[in-house]
Amino acid sequence: MTARRNLSDLLADLEEAVDAAREIVELGRARWENERPLRLAGEAVIGRIGDVASKLPDELLSETPEVPWDDVCGMRIVVDHVYHAVDYNIVWETLRDDIPNLGMAVDGWLERHPEVSPPSKP
């Protein structure tokens, strides 16, 4: 059995996924459209974020109402279990628009909670 991860570890995982989303978007829409591995990577990023979100403490979720956490967790279900129905336009928009906003919301929460250890940079 795997031990539960602490908040700092979860936030590090979240930060890594937010960074990966940014890197995918920086490659551009044309590459996204033409390279299946990028689309699959985008699904994986969304899956990772949804998984982490399902483990975050209620305090963080309730204090970041600008993030639709239920949708974040729900999108993980879609990309992981209903993958045959994934709309890659929505995935792209999520990577480009929603994930950066999620990252900023969590960064803001960390600024308001200096007692929480921020994720360490590799």
By annotation, the residues acting in catalysis are 76, 81
- Compute CA 67 distance to the chain's CA centroid, rounded to the nearest angstrom: 11
The string of DSSP codes covering 53-82 is HTTS-HHHHHT-TTS-HHHHHHHHHHHHH-
Q: Report helix angle 36-53 to 69-81, nearest 10.
A: 130
Task: List all residues 6 or more positions away from 115 whose beta carbon is below 8 Å from its beta carbon.
Answer: none
User: Is the CB of residue 43 less than 8 Å from the CB of residue 24?
Assistant: no
Helix, strand or coil, per DSSP, at residue 83: helix
